Amino acid sequence: MPIAPTPPAGPAAYLPRDVLNAPEVKAAIARRSTERGDDADMAAWLRNHFFRWAIGSFEHVLPVHSAADYLAATGAGAGKPVPEWLAKLLQPRADAGPRACWYLDPEHLLLIERERVLVEFLRSRRGTRLEQKLQRINCFMALAMWEQEHQRMQARRSKGWVPSSGLALREVLRTPNGVLFEFDGRHAALREEMAYESYHMQHCLGQFASLKKLSGGYGEQYAQAAQEGRLRLFTLRSAGNLPHVTISLTVHADGLRVDQIKGKQNRHPIRKYADDVLRFLRAVPPRGERHADCEGMGLVFEPDTPGAAQGQWKFVTDVADANHLLSVMSANFHLIEHFEQPPPALQWLLLRIAPRELGRLRQVDPAVAAAARLMRPGQAASAGATHGIEGIALDFAPEAGAC
């Protein structure tokens, strides 16, 4: 049976078309939206924009010029009467003949597929400017944006990118900056999700020797360990399904241990995501012990201290034990920038082991500054002045009573 001709590409407005069963189409769209659990904004967008696009531009509609056409389109059979309103509508007019009418199957597989694609695309834009102006985005605009993204995806895939379906992810924890998901080692989409993570994070988790088969290479050992339950993998993702931190924990008989916590390009995750990872470490939690990746991003496990019931994961600026803090900082001087006013003991440590790092401080203890001056004889010694240590400028607080 013939179908309606394809409308011109990219119309600016919804096209008029007399679809006989438009109320049924709108009801079907609303029902599917409810079954999916769409939020109110998405449901409203579908009832308005997607419905109007389907009525005016969906290609697979059937022309209805007669009662026989209607019965064939609906599958009602020859014995079922045609509604009276439709019989009148189809009566030939003296000036133009019968009216052009159409029937759209509310459950057409291609209509449902187009609906699914658009819902997935628009959901992926949560937290972006597009979400804020959703009701002003018509269906043609949304389809064009989806097509552009699809083309970019194909170009990236040829360079090693693999799309994320999200099917191999299980939500673990919601944080201020996103959601922490665990990779499902038993799911068939595990390797695809690992490759997607690696592409965005630029590390080796999902770097497979064969991009087509997703096998071999670095990714193979991680995938096998996850599939066999020896390794648990986690990812912190924000709006748009963008990864920011990758975490791996090894599984032991006595619990979990931190294996790796990586930001992009295997660097330490940036400060913005430290609180998110800290929540994760407290919620899981892995064995409390020192780890270079944790301490490198400022997360420290402080063992039992007098007055504390048990050890706890903390941010470095909250560590209470001075000796423990000095031990951590001796290998992570870059964390000094997080201290508003570092303890004098920490400043002395910097002066002794890494004097250049004193340049990161907002304020230097007077005694430390005085000792710093002695390291470079001949420098100006007036209190409150700016002093140099191996070419690094230091601003320190004046001693009490100094003018």
Chain segment 342-353, per-residue pLDDT in tens: 888 888 877 877
Q: Of 137, 157, 177, which closes a domain?
A: 157
Predicted pLDDT of residue 77: 57
137 in the same domain as 73: yes
Tell me, yes or no, whether 272 lies in a domain: yes
Tell me, yes or no, whether 206 lies in a domain: yes
295 in the same domain as 233: no
Beta strand 255-262 pairing with 392-395: unpaired
pLDDT tens for the chain, 403 residues long, are 344 433 334 456 898 888 988 999 999 999 999 998 899 999 999 999 999 999 999 988 888 877 777 787 777 655 567 777 777 777 766 666 667 788 899 988 789 888 988 988 888 787 788 888 999 999 999 999 988 877 776 676 666 778 888 999 999 999 999 999 999 999 999 999 999 999 899 888 988 888 889 998 888 989 999 999 999 999 999 988 999 999 999 999 999 999 999 999 889 999 999 999 999 999 999 999 889 899 999 999 998 765 555 789 999 999 988 888 888 887 788 888 888 888 888 888 778 777 777 777 777 888 888 887 777 544 433 333 344 444 444 444 433 333 2
Predicted pLDDT of residue 376: 58
Tell me, yes or no, whether 177 lies in a domain: yes
List b or e across 220-248, with b for residues whose CB sees 16 or more CB atoms inside 10 angstroms.
bebbebbeeeebbbbbbbbeebebbbbbb
Predicted pLDDT of residue 280: 97
106 in the same domain as 89: yes
Predicted pLDDT of residue 110: 83
Query: Hey, is 256 helix, strand or coil?
Result: strand
- Give the torsion sign (CA, 325, 329, 332, 333): positive
Type of residue at 131: E
> Residue 265: which CATH number?
3.40.630
Tell me, yes or no, whether 58 lies in a domain: yes
Structure tokens at 101: 């009418």
Beta strand 392-395 pairing with 386-389: antiparallel
147 in the same domain as 33: yes
373 in the same domain as 332: no
Q: What is the pLDDT of residues 218-234, one digit of tens each?
A: 889 899 999 999 999 99
323 in the same domain as 233: no
Tell me, yes or no, whether 347 lies in a domain: no
Query: CA-CA distance, 366 to 104, in Å (whole number)?
Result: 82
Predicted pLDDT of residue 71: 80
Tell me, yes or no, whether 345 lies in a domain: no
Kindly compute the dihedral angle of the four CA atoms of residues 309, 310, 314, 319, in this order, to the nearest 10 degrees.
Answer: 70
261 in the same domain as 205: yes
Tell me, yes or no, whether 9 lies in a domain: no
Tell me, yes or no, whether 2 lies in a domain: no
Q: Of 157, 177, 202, which closes a domain?
A: 157
Considering its fold, how many domains does the chain have in total?
A: 4
Predicted pLDDT of residue 79: 58
135 in the same domain as 44: yes
186 in the same domain as 142: no
Q: Please give the residue range of the domain that contains residue 356.
A: 352-403
